[in-house]
Amino acid sequence: MRLLKVATCNLNQWAMEFDSNTKQIKDSISKAKQAGAVIRLGPELEISGYGCEDHFLELDTVNHSWECLKNILIGDWTDGIVCSIGMPIIKGSERYNCQVLCFNRKIIMIRPKMWLANDGNYRELRWFTAWKQRDQLDDFPLPLHVSEALGQKSVPFGYGFVKFQDTAIAAEVCEELFTPSPPHAELALNGVEVFMNASGSHHQLRKLDVRLRAFIGATHTRGGVYIYSNHQGCDGGRLYYDGCASVVVNGDVVAQGSQFSLNDVEVVVAQIDLDVVASLRGSVSSFQEQASCKVKVPSVDVPYNLCLPFDLRVPLSVPLQIKYHSPEEEIAFGPGCWLWDYLRRSGASGFLLPLSGGADSSSVAAIVGCMCQLVVKEIANGDERVKADAIRIGNYKDGQYPTDSREFAKRIFYTVFMGSENSSDMTRSRAKVLADEIGSWHLDVSIDGVVSALLSLFQTLTGKRPRYKVDGGSNVENLGLQNIQARIRMVLAYMLALLLPWVHNKPGFYLVLGSSNVDEGLRGYLTKYDCSSADINPIGSISKQDLRAFLRWAAIHLGYASLADIEAAPPTAELEPIRSNYSQLDEVDMGMTYEELSVYGRLRKIFRCGPVSMFQNLCYRWGARLTPSQVAEKVKHFFKFYSINRHKMTTLTPSYHAESYSPEDNRFDLRQFLYNTRWPYQFQKIEELVRELDVKDVQESGNHETLAALSNGVGGMGVAAAGSGNPNVGI
């Protein structure tokens, strides 16, 4: 037997916060050594933080990373343990994303990343160069201050592996695992048994299975130990890195860390018998044949044994049942942990949420309630850092600290129902009941006086007073009256967030939370600069369908029973008067259902469909219940209002990224915001396709009169009409 104990970790690093990042790296190494591990893997770019973005272009960021690495190496942190530490490095005139392999206060080698992540939220090619040389290791001169401190002038730099006397190890950095020809394939043929993947992978609903299947597939047929490390938390932006540090042996998961946690440093340890790797490889004939004619990969020799011999006192790690969270749990815990990181690092004293009693704002309230529950639970589990943050944020005195989530929510969470003459008693009541269940400090405010004052001012200026459509007003008047209410709520929310702490003799300020969902953003069904405009939004890239499922789950598992009634109520903006023969409904206003919006969103972003290809796809999907003409009307209706309202995405509140079809304009979904909303070329192509399909249907049915009419152009389609309500709220 060759017994090897390895450690990997989830670290909650903060971009550009070098002191705390270095401290947490040291803490993780100490915990790994205490557990007896001889290999410690940390996440990608862990010294600087992964989310530095254009700060990577600054020489200071690289220089500070070297200073922090030197600080680690001059101590005893790396004595007797191999540490893979991530940082940016400049070689010549190029900047590389690197893993630095250290051992016994020396640098063994520097491994630059060869395949960079450059899609979705990732922009690594903006800041780094991909390493392209595969046949040799370069000699890299260390910075003078590092060289003098370590007594080491240069180190091997490039693609290769480290060969100890009893095993071989190698780095594979994040994106490289997911390439068509990943490095671990040829490294395995060269005898590498332990692969170390340092990652900066963010949370996305239902994504974890894809990641774990990649680890399992990397070692299932070719054998090996695959160690994965990741960031965990909000490091300063829209992303939540969802941890799940893991160890996989020959396709079996033998250790798995948490996906969501308030813990800044989590170390996951596994005890492995490397002989099982050699045994599997020796039993696969094709592996033996390919290894005999492999392309040789450069290596660095280290005259040291990492493994221990057979010892019954050392238990081996066994395969585990993989832990997956349901999508509803992901919505609760991911945004909840993200909010906590943002709150404690922003210097704010709490959150303020305009709570309408509808599904979206109630989802946000429930997520904040979940955050409060997580904080109290971590304190009860003995996390002193969470306890210290909670005492500071909640302004506790005389040794007190949170022991009850509702009491903690009362200190750090304001909810405000901003009602008008158009608000119903049901939504007012639902908001109050939910606030009581969560424990927030709840206010019920009427905005009618402010609305009336603005309308009187307008009437003084113009001599006219707008009316709602149900009272005989035009579409423009109706839209204007709705927007006045919505925008007043934003102004009032920010005023209360700033001044309520002062009123209650609390220090600091409160962050305003937004509550628009991904489907409303995609369709543009929101008012620009209304309550969708906030400091941050935990549900901005989550679909309405997922939020409704979350509400049903949270009513039971978070203990907020009123959420069941909120979920069952039809979605409404309550910006128009309620009449006996009219009640405003979101889906009527939009001219499409939320279920349809989810379909449009996925086709547009994930499957990269324009109007024509979306029409063709939906003809297959909806062909059993809709004619091609009806499908065309729906597609054109969506693209018309998507393009009319795309400009709203340029001012979208920074939102937690959770969905791969998010229309977020700033980082993820980069498109123009001024369109020809008639889409003349594309819509004409759709009309041609519809006519072709109609002709084929008629030919098959034998209706010659209809065929002649179609051939003469009868039955062409116009642009879809708006819904019976006002689908363009918020221009």
Catalytic annotation, residues: 44, 113, 174, 356
Nearest to 7 by CA among 173, 291, 247, 315: 247
For residue 412, how many other CB atoms are within 10 A of its CB? 25
Distance CA 254, CA 321 (A): 9
> What kind and span of H or E run contains 418?
strand 413-419
Distance CA 334, CA 527 (A): 27
Q: Cα 433–415–341 angle (5° rounding)? A: 120
Q: Cα 621–623–629 angle (5° rounding)? A: 120
> Residue 432 corresponds to which amino acid?
K
The dihedral of CA 23, 27, 33, 38: what is its sign?
Answer: negative
The dihedral of CA 79, 83, 89, 92: what is its sign?
Answer: positive
> What kind and span of H or E run contains 501?
helix 475-503
Bridge-based pairing state of the strands 138-141 and 154-157: antiparallel
Beta-bridge mates of residue 82: 39
Distance CA 556, CA 551 (A): 9
| Residue 496: both structure tokens together | 């209360």
Distance CA 538, CA 559 (A): 20
| CB-CB contact of 540 with 521 (8 Å) | yes
Residues 6+ apart with CB under 8 A from 36: 5, 269
Give me the DSSP letters along 48-106: T-GGGGGGGGSHHHHHHHHHHHHHHHTTTTTTTSEEEEEEEEEETTEEEEEEEEEETTE
Residue-level length of the chain: 731
The dihedral of CA 548, 551, 552, 553: what is its sign?
Answer: positive
What's the distance, CA 99 to chain centroid? 24
Distance CA 355, CA 295 (A): 62
Tell me the backbone φ, ψ of residue 444, rounded to 5 degrees.
-120, 110
Tell me the backbone φ, ψ of residue 706, rounded to 5 degrees.
-65, -35
Exposed/middle/buried for 4, CB within 10 Å: 0-12, 13-18, 19+? buried
Tell me the backbone φ, ψ of residue 193, rounded to 5 degrees.
-105, -25
